[in-house]
Each structure stands twice: as structure tokens, then as C-alpha cells.
């Protein structure tokens, strides 16, 4: 691709159809997840002209390191809600925006699914199917539970909305207390009262291993820890010890390390249900991602600040 235009590099074919036409002097170029997996990159002249880059939906660091070859890039629009993986790979002077709102519905939906599957022991029932075993007995329920959501961003709000019909009490903790949100200093008492604790905080230096031995030790015996944030928010060794001892249970969409190695003890720890980081990766992702990118492209080419810039 030889161009004198300014380039918006996006991860989907037919970008004009999905994202809308660009003004004169601008053009789209495409760099897909399949390109990245094949080790292919756009031509040098294309990379030279990129002003706005929307990387493919992958955690492969190579797709973000590509910004080192984009001398004119001004902003990077991620397709992930988390951005800790991008901070070391994108130059500080380049604007970095996360995909706020794109994953809210899918991640909240999966959090509910993990709660229900764990409370109603659906994983045990699924395993019993392989031997035609008819498991009977009473299980826990979501009804009448106290659900503590640690992280009161847009996904936390979406989760609260989805829990309204389940007849449970929802308590939310934010980085500071305000209105109906509790502050982090209240966590010890809140953990002791919660039947289910859902982690929805971004992974930062402050939140790494937030759920450590002390945090887990403050949880109610038999309580369920649901992690749909990032694996590093939980101290995996402490979690394995607590679950192996039968003190708490866990339902995890993310782990540390990730992917979880085949021989890792977490796979076989009693009371643990693992989903392979599919919280935001549902059929709802693509149309929502394309709507966000269309809005951000329109702002950017009009010379306006893009939304959802994250702290650098």
C-alpha cells in the first residue's frame, strides 16, 4: 500500500462498511488477528502513515510493539477493557484508550454464569454425565446471597443490573466511598459478610495480589471467590491453599499464570471452576467493538480528543 494519506489501521476487513467513510486525506488499512498470528505486518510505508491504530483483539505483545515502527502514530485504541499489558509497549506520548463498555455485557453475563455454575454444582453434574451418574442432593443457591463486587466500574454496574432478578443483596466497593459505594477500608468486614466475592478491578501495582492470604482469610468460610478481572489480582498460591483446605471455593475466568500450564495444581484443586478467559469474547463483542471504534475514529479525524484515555 503506497499512500500519502494519513492512515487509520484497523483489525477488520471492509472497514468503511463497518466504520464509516473517512474525509479526504485519510484512508483505512487493515491488520487482522490472522495477519498477526501469521507473523505478517503492514508495509513500511503504511506503518509510517499510521495516525490511529486499533490493534487486533489479542494479548500477543507483538501487535503493540508494532507501534515502535509507527513514527507518526498519535493514539492507540485497544479492544480490551484491561490495559496493563499495553502500558509498557506503547510510548508514553501516544494516547492510549481502552474499550470501556465493549465487554460489559459479556463479562457480567459470564460472572453470573460462573456464580450459578458453582453454586448449583453444574460442573460436577457435567462430569457425572460421562459416567451416566445421576447426582442428587441439595446445592447452594444464588438467591438470598450477599454478593460483594470489588470494582465499581462499568462492568460492575452491568453485573449489578443482571443480579437484580436473582433475589440477592449486592454490595459494591470502589476505590473510594461515595453514594452507594463502599470504600476499600471497609473490605475486612464486608468480606466476612459476603457469600460471593466478585473481583472486577483493573490490574495495577495497587491491585496486584489484592486477593492475598489476608484477603482470603477474611472471607466467610465456604464463600465463593469469582475472578473476572485479571489473574494477577489473586495470589494463586494462597488461593490453592485455601481451596485445597476447603475453606473457600473459586470460579475463575482468569488465572496467574495464563494460560494455565497443564500440570498446574489449580486444575485439580477441589472447589475450583475454571473458564479459559472468555469473559468478553462472545458474539456480543464484535458489533460493540465496531461501534466504539467508529465513534473514536470520527472524533480522531475531526481533531477531537478520543474518549476513554487511560492514565499513563
141 and 78 part of one domain: no
Q: Can you tell me the distance from the alpha carbon of 293 to that of 296, in angstroms, rounded to the nearest whole number?
A: 5
In a domain? residue 43: yes
pLDDT at 240: 98
In a domain? residue 310: no
110 and 255 part of one domain: yes
pLDDT of 14 strictly over 90 = no
Which residues form the domain of 265? 104-274
- Whether 258 is catalytic is yes
In a domain? residue 253: yes
Mean pLDDT across the chain: 95
260 and 111 part of one domain: yes
In a domain? residue 246: yes
pLDDT at 311: 66
127 and 267 part of one domain: yes
Identify the active-site residue in 103, 182, 249, 277: 277
157 and 235 part of one domain: yes
133 and 258 part of one domain: yes
In a domain? residue 1: no
pLDDT at 2: 54
Give me the residue label for grid cell 473459586.
250
- Whether 277 is catalytic is yes
pLDDT at 216: 98
- 210: exposed, middle or buried (C-beta count within 10 Å: 0-12, 13-18, 19+)? buried
Q: In a 3-state reduction of DSSP, which class is residue 133?
A: coil
In a domain? residue 153: yes
CB atoms within 10 A of CB 194: 24
78 and 118 part of one domain: no
- Whether 167 is catalytic is no
The domain that holds 253 is classified in CATH as: 3.40.50.720
Identify the active-site residue in 140, 258, 291, 299: 258
Query: pLDDT tens across 47-60, in order?
Result: 999 999 999 999 89
98 and 173 part of one domain: no
pLDDT at 18: 82
164 and 98 part of one domain: no
113 and 89 part of one domain: no
CB atoms within 10 A of CB 214: 12
How is residue 172 written as a grid cell? 459494591
Average pLDDT value for residue range 152-166: 95
98 and 109 part of one domain: no
247 and 131 part of one domain: yes
Identify the active-site residue in 103, 182, 230, 249: 230
Average pLDDT value for residue range 7-28: 91
For the chain, how many structural domains are there in total? Answer: 2
In a domain? residue 123: yes
In a domain? residue 308: no
How is residue 300 written as a grid cell? 480522531
Q: What is the pTM of this model?
A: 0.90
Amino acid at each position: 500500500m503506497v499512500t500519502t494519506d494519513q492512515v487509520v489501521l484497523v483489525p477488520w476487513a471492509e472497514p468503511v462498511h463497518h466504520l464509516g467513510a473517512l474525509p479526504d486525506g485519510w484512508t483505512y488499512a487493515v491488520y487482522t488477528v490472522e495477519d498477526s498470528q501469521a507473523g505478517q505486518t503492514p508495509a513500511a510505508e503504511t506503518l509510517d502513515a499510521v495516525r490511529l491504530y486499533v490493534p487486533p483483539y489479542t494479548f500477543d505483545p507483538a501487535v503493540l510493539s508494532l507501534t515502535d515502527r509507527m513514527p507518526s502514530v498519535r493514539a492507540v485504541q485497544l479492544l480490551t477493557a484491561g490495559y496493563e499489558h499495553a502500558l509498557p509497549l506503547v510510548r508514553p506520548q501516544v494516547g492510549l484508550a481502552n474499550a470501556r463498555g465493549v465487554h460489559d455485557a459479556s463479562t457480567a453475563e459470564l460472572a453470573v454464569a460462573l456464580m450459578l455454575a458453582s453454586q448449583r454444582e453444574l460442573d460436577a453434574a457435567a462430569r457425572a454425565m460421562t459416567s451416566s451418574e445421576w447426582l442428587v442432593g441439595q446445592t447452594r443457591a444464588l438467591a438470598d446471597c450477599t454478593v460483594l463486587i470489588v470494582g465499581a466500574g462499568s462492568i460492575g454496574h452491568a453485573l449489578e443490573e443482571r443480579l437484580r432478578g436473582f433475589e440477592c443483596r449486592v454490595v459494591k466497593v470502589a476505590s473510594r466511598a461515595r453514594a452507594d459505594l463502599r470504600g476499600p477500608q471497609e473490605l475486612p468486614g464486608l468480606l466476612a459478610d459476603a457469600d460471593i466475592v466478585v473481583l472486577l478491578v483493573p490490574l495495577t501495582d495497587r491491585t496486584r495480589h489484592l486477593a492475598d492470604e489476608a484477603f482470603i482469610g477474611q472471607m466467610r468460610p465456604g464463600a465463593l471467590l469469582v475472578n473476572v478481572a485479571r489473574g494477577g489480582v489473586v495470589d494463586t498460591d494462597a488461593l490453592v491453599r485455601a481451596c485445597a483446605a476447603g475453606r473457600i471455593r473459586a470460579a475463575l475466568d482468569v488465572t496467574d499464570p495464563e494460560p494455565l500450564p497443564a500440570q498446574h495444581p489449580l486444575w485439580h484443586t477441589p472447589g475450583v471452576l475454571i473458564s479459559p478467559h472468555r469473559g468478553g469474547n462472545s458474539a456480543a463483542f464484535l458489533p460493540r467493538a465496531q461501534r466504539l471504534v467508529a465513534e473514536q475514529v470520527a472524533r480522531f479525524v475531526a481533531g477531537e480528543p478520543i474518549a476513554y484515555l487511560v492514565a499513563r
